[in-house]
Amino acid sequence: MESAWFESVSRRGGRKTAALASASRHALAESCQAALARSQHALLDLQKNEGYWCGDLLADTTLESDYILLQLWLYPPTEAGWCPPTVETVQRAVKSILSRQLPDGGYNIYPGGPADVSASVKAYTALKLAGVPSGSDAMIRARECILTLGGIQAANSYVKINLSLFGLYPRAHVPSIPPEIVLLPGGVLYEMSSWTRAIVVPLSIVQTRGGTRPVPQGFDLEEITASDKSFQLPRRDKLSLLFSGIDRGLKIWRDRGNAKVKNAAIRAAEKWMLDHTRYCDGLGAIYPSMMYLVMALEALGYPPDHPDLVEAIGHFDALMTQRGESFFFQPCFSPVWDTAYAAFALGEMGTAPPEKLTQAADWLLAREVRRKGDWSVKRPDLEPSGWAFEFANEHYPDIDDTAMVLLAFMHAKASDPDAQQRCERRAVNWLLGMQSKDGGWAAFDVDNDWQLLNRVPFADHNAMLDPTCPDITGRVLEALFRRGFTQDHPAIQRGVTYLLNTQEVNGSWYGRWGVDYIYGAFLAMRALKHARGPEPAEAIYKGARWLTAVQNADGGWGESCASYVENHFVPAPSTASQTAWALLGLLAAGDGHHDAIRRGIEFLTTTQKPDGTWHEDLATGTGFPNVFYLQYTLYRNYFPVLALTQARRALAPKPTWVQPLAAT
């Protein structure tokens, strides 16, 4: 049944909603069209000559802080003090850290958020190492803030591990990560998330072979150590106590264990690590694992001119970014993700030059993963395909990116149609093969939800597992639906059931990879609009009702990263990306919500800058909930394009979208 957005009948009680006047509808459509013309030009200007898009990824100060500590590892102090050959870069990192200090002296993990003890401890340590005077106002305020938050003892396990490598935190009270983890039977390593295994394997070598590295004479962190708190491993429940006992045994093994077995474990970990640096831009192609790889190779005695170490440092240093006066590290690069979304948004608009989309398609086609990665441990017979998030990371193709590339290929046509068709067939089959048993899809792996691992002592970074989530599942389902799959297909049936079962009581969905419930809701709703039956329609109705209830007074939508802490929606100032997400969800519902949609459109069209872009300074991307967040600098550009395109279609006299079956 087809029904215009501007003239609909509520199926709940038969109440006819107010039709949007023709003049108002026309004015809104004109506003959308004008905004889209500007944004198309702006988005095309950002396309690289090679055909891809890649916006900066912005994170918190922990990356710059870790960089300074890494320099201490690579370049130990001398009797004259500490002056590494990278001193100029260290000072740029110092300036970057100081520029983001909060009024209370601490450092947060997302813009607008409160001081975080782990980020603050890292920043204080790095600044002190770099020579910022302890009596300066910045350092005094940082110390006071850290002590208020519980001192160094309140930091997470990875901060404590890093500090223990330099004798700045008691090693007896940090978790042990043994290299023997690579030798454990049953594929235990592969029950961890892909990013965790890429971190813990090199870190296990660092802990075992790195020793305790020197610090400048007289350097310590006593002043940020809380006098009323003891040093101990995290103890959350009885199971954590069990793991604490195991940790004590691991420490005994490290000191007294069989040397032959320990050496075999080191060599196995070294081989795993080096094998996983092939066909990628650094181990895991993400900052933490790339940093630990450098440290591990150095701990193993690789000389400074060894090709593997030179390459590892080169990949790591490539994450440094200088934009005018601004200096920062990116946690990784996002070219596949940005290219797929930009191409999809421009393709949906329908007016982009075909040759620009062909350039994007050719670039994406050349980056299909054709080698088996870690995912094949659980899917050994599945033909390789998919796309990674970064330029090159063939061990870790990403389910989310793969679905997004398939959506982009709906519009972006490569120079070789036959090659594209074969590629798309492989990618669809790979997506279907990567569905987990609960019906959902995760980021990198299948059935990666062994909850026992969340109790190990170093699991407080909130990233041990890669469980299925509504946001990725919604995107995969949309990609499959738009390729002609229907609910008659068993995978689609199970995916739809998963989304219905994971809807929150208030009508929203949890968003794992975007902040947060708005992100989950729009992706789930866009998938369910293709599904048949009263249950999907009811779920969409509830989702739309929730979205209208959380709209800001200015007509936009905004959600804080604090939603992950509170486990419910926490409002924030409106952002372009989150407003676009909410509009996409409401437009997928298709039944009423006129005023909310009108106000959302007006927010985007009136806040667009003259150059066709939007301003956004809050984090709307999620790395690890409660630990690490991201600002995708292109989100503010291509998501509004997608939303305004859908709105323009809905405002057309003959709408091109089909309303989902009404709930009974």
The answer to whether position 600 is within a domain reads: no
The answer to whether position 96 is within a domain reads: yes
* CB of 562 closer than 8 Å to CB of 619: no
The answer to whether position 371 is within a domain reads: no
The answer to whether position 105 is within a domain reads: yes
Judged on CB neighbours under 10 Å (0-12, 13-18, 19+), 40 is: buried
The answer to whether position 113 is within a domain reads: yes
Rg of the chain on CA atoms, in Å:
26
CATH number of the domain within which 189 lies? 1.50.10.20
- Give the pLDDT band (50/70/90) at residue 6: very low
Q: Provide mean pLDDT across the span 141-162.
A: 96
In this predicted structure, what is the pLDDT of residue 663? 36
Quickly tell me which residue has 């691992």 as its tokens.
453
- Each residue's pLDDT tens digit, 313-361: 999 999 999 998 899 999 999 999 999 999 999 999 999 999 999 999 9
**Which amino acid is it at 326?**
S
Distance CA(440)–CA(473), nearest Å, equals: 5
Distance CA(403)–CA(629), nearest Å, equals: 22
Distance CA(322)–CA(653), nearest Å, equals: 48
Domain membership of residue 221 as a residue range: 61-329
Chain-centroid distance, C-alpha 447: 19
The answer to whether position 287 is within a domain reads: yes
Distance CA(608)–CA(602), nearest Å, equals: 10
The answer to whether position 661 is within a domain reads: no
- Each residue's pLDDT tens digit, 167-177: 999 998 998 89
Chain-centroid distance, C-alpha 351: 30
* CB of 534 closer than 8 Å to CB of 528: no
Is residue 400 annotated as part of the catalytic site, yes or no? yes
In this predicted structure, what is the pLDDT of residue 10? 36
* CB of 633 closer than 8 Å to CB of 618: no
Least-confidence region, from 64-68, 214-218, 438-442, 455-459: 455-459
Q: Is the pLDDT of residue 378 over 60?
A: yes
Sign (positive or negative) of CA dihedral 236, 241, 242, 243? positive
Percent of the chain's residues with pLDDT above 90: 82
Alpha helical stretches, state H, 99-129 = 117-129
- Each residue's pLDDT tens digit, 470-507: 999 999 999 999 999 999 999 999 999 999 999 999 99
Q: Provide mean pLDDT across the span 545-573.
A: 97
Distance CA(420)–CA(303), nearest Å, equals: 44
576-589 vs 635-651: helix crossing angle, rounded to 10:
30
The answer to whether position 573 is within a domain reads: no
- Each residue's pLDDT tens digit, 591-648: 666 899 999 999 999 999 999 999 999 999 999 999 999 999 999 999 999 999 999 9
DSSP 454-475: GGSTT-TTS-S-B---HHHHHH
Sign (positive or negative) of CA dihedral 367, 370, 373, 376? positive
Mean pLDDT, all residues of the chain: 91
Q: Provide mean pLDDT across the span 88-100.
A: 97
Q: Provide mean pLDDT across the span 23-32.
A: 86
Short-list 401, 331, 389, CA closest to 58: 331
How many structural domains is the chain composed of? 1
In this predicted structure, what is the pLDDT of residue 657? 38
The residue annotated as part of the active site, out of 338, 398, 400, 445, is 400
In this predicted structure, what is the pLDDT of residue 71? 98
Strands 621-624 and 571-575: unpaired
